[in-house]
Chains A and B, each alone.
Chain A
Amino acid sequence: MDESEEGNRLIASIHNALGDHDVNFGDDLDGVLTWINPNDPDSNHQLRPPILRIKKAVKTLFNFKDVDDTFFELLRQFLIYQTRRHFFANFEALLNFKDVQKLEKYYEFPLNFVVVFSASEWLDEINGLRGYLVFSHPIFKQNVMLRLKQLLIEDDFEMARKVYEWLCQAEGRPLTTLLIDIILVKVQMYAAAQMGAVWTKRFVIVETFNSFISSYWGPLSEMLQCAEDDHAVTQEIYQCFEHEFIRIRTQQVFEVFVTEYPVSKPTLLELRSVLKTPSRYTKLITELLYHFEAKMLKPSVTTAEIVLSYVKAIKSILTVDVSFRYFRLLTEFVRPFLSERRDTVVTFLYALLGLGSSESKGTSQNSEHTRIAAQLAEELMDSHKPIMNSTLEGGIQMLPERSPVLNAYEPICQQVFNYYLHWTPEPMDSIQASSDDALMSKSLFDIVVDLFESKDVIITAFITLYTKKLLDLKGYKLEQNWAKSLKLLKQKFNLKKLPGSQEISNVSNIDVMLRDIKHSEMLCSDLHSWASLNPTIFPKIISYLFWGTSQEFCMPSKNLRLPLALEQDLERYREAYSDIKKGRKLKVHQEQSIVEVNLTFEDKRTVKFEVPLKRAVVLSCFSEHEESKGLTQTQIIERTGASEDEVVQALQFWRNASVLYHDEQLGVYKPVEHLESEKTKALTDTEDSESIATGKNSEFHLSVDSQQREITDAMEKVWPFIKGMLTNLGTMKVDKIHSFLKIAVPKEIGFVATVSQLEVYLNILVDEGKLVSNANGTFKLVK
């Protein structure tokens, strides 16, 4: 049947139902029907109150006494029919909640004047249409739900409630799930905004939860149709906040654990109280490792920075994880990377033993480095004390946070019993933490030491540092912290418990060294009372076998010819020593000797320098008066007996110090007797200033070269081992050679090279024709 036909049929039936009145009233009825018809947009109500004629007609219609219910039933049918017709013709154009509101108003408007429906009748009808709309117009439904979410997020609860109620009516049931989903999103956003970078507060979850409840819970609970004080629900919401807290902190784990460490301690403590399941820990630690690798384990990051962040991370993990299960993970993770770095142990020792960053070698360090080193030293300052005192003291305060009385409806004593005696789940962590004494007494020092493959590495590095320190010592007084650090190291490594081991004998070398220093001091004060001896000489007499594994003391070192007076002075000391210590003789080691010199120039300027003896000897060639003509490099080599390298380096040093200059015309070096005139000369003479500038560069290159040479020299000692290995096993890969060498090379020779360094060396051997490298990365001997 055609739609309009059905309409016309209804109109005709209505006219019929009106019976006798229709003759007089038919036109007015048509007017009313048109006015209420939503499908007649040009001549219907148009949301305006009816004109007088319609008003009158309506009034007359409802006043007919003899019109029966059929008429009104038909009228209702007509209205429903027309509304539905309009709705089905238009519903696809509905996109937003606003549209449907407008439409419903449009339908309802005439009903205010033509009251044919009871409230519930009309509502049923409208709800049916709403249901259809929601069911068959997914885009619209989605839009409405989005709108609801948006309104809730924007805190427009009044409007949100309207939308929500509309939706519930359309679906014919309360949409709790939807609402809860949206509330969770709100919680999430609220938590993100409130907890974000608040690392200094201790009870962020509770505070955020409280403020959330006080600002939003009223309207939300109303919408959810639950009591505002329904604790089961609020507890759930609290859980959500807890969960969010963990999620946010897991995301920020690197900042919290490393970058902001000491500041972020409160939040770490809070994190500990909520991280209850192993899976949460795992997630947190995994995230930390991931960030740690991405941010720190890169070639561009200095060792000190890595070590600092490592230490901070360890401290943080220890704060969060009282079961001590996870920190080893980080150690294992960082170890391979740090072991590739030569300066790790040294960096570490300086910080760990409080040797002071200022003493750290390498003057090129800038303020940033010093700052990091100082920070590291601070972090590690009390590292040798047990963790119990340092990290866990804060943990005890958190207990009162949980009150035994939680539920007002249960007898209090029962709750107290439950609180103290029934633990759900079984608190593994806390029991472990308080009972495992071995772990509790473990200090950060021990944990950090685990970072290295063995104690040997640390001890060897420590001994090297100590040896260098004592050799460079002027006079005989060692700083307090060095003595303390030795004591600490001995105590930490329990050296007394393992008598006879290699480490002990290595560390006791330090005792011998210290004794040598002490004896030298006593001897020196004795000798200075001898009239024949020069009191400006402070000899250090060492038992060379105990001073480092390097062969430098045993090897015949090439000594320079010293200035006569100095030579005689030293000779007298040697004789005096042999007099006192019968049957012993002394040998001077110029390489290790240091002198303080005073330079006086013709312009009355005097400069003091503290330099290695050899440098001073090179300069002393210029000291004599007749040498105003200057000296060539070859002449200096002849006079001192030094090697060319040594002379070049020394000359470079004195030139940089403005003590010597190179006379380009004569090809000789001369002392800078008049600094001012020389300066102006240097300014005009660009070539010369350039060469000074490049002089610095070349010194840099020299140091790089010497470092490389040092590595190659060290590797040459292991060449016989490599050769033997390859003779027996044929071809081998670098990794394998490396691990074999680690096992095979005795400690006295020492093998500390990394895989990459070894590879460089092997490639050098390939270049030298001693080895052949194969395409699959293996090496074999040339036959």
Chain B
Amino acid sequence: MLNKIYDWVDERLDITPMWRDIADHEVPEHVNPAHHFSAFVYCFGGLTFFVTVIQILSGMFLTMYYVPDIKNAWESVYYLQNEVAFGVIVRGMHHWGASLVIVMMFLHTLRVFFQGAYKKPRELNWVVGVLIFFVMLGLGFTGYLLPWDMKALFATKVGIEIAASTPLIGHELKVLLAGHPDIVGAQTLTRFFAIHVFFLPAALLGLMGAHFIMIRKQGISGPL
């Protein structure tokens, strides 16, 4: 049945070369942990992607209950965590995944750094990777405010003060982030929500696409 559906589509759209391009390629021996166990260090990039997928999915589901408004944000988080079936699991996935993605990304960076895999011709991919790192930090920073509890509020106040200490444009940067010259409040929460849920994920998907296209084009770096 599934085969027939596949054939029906393939006959019209010739999709086999497309998915072959994406999925059908050999893993070189030196990056395959089945051959050399130490090759597990090559898994961190893929694990970062895996956790990122979990983050995107769990985040999508969290927005079914979450409200980015200062009167209701905390209540909605409390409700989805304590009243909704598996709420504590879904929020837990997003909460712990946020830290895990940083850990995995850091290990991936260390591997690339210590193997010298960033060297010519892969410099551009390193640059894109660093941009992904900044986007991830931005996602962590903006996501931290959303539960709207004391820890979130004061962490964001400190973070915005750090942004405000930027030379020359510090004050403008602060107002742009907070949405108000003095108050970390209603407009800050909606801004951070928009940045967390739309702007940064869009940037992240674009950058990750570039990251993966480059690694497929250039191939993985050779054995040490």
Physical interaction between A and B: no
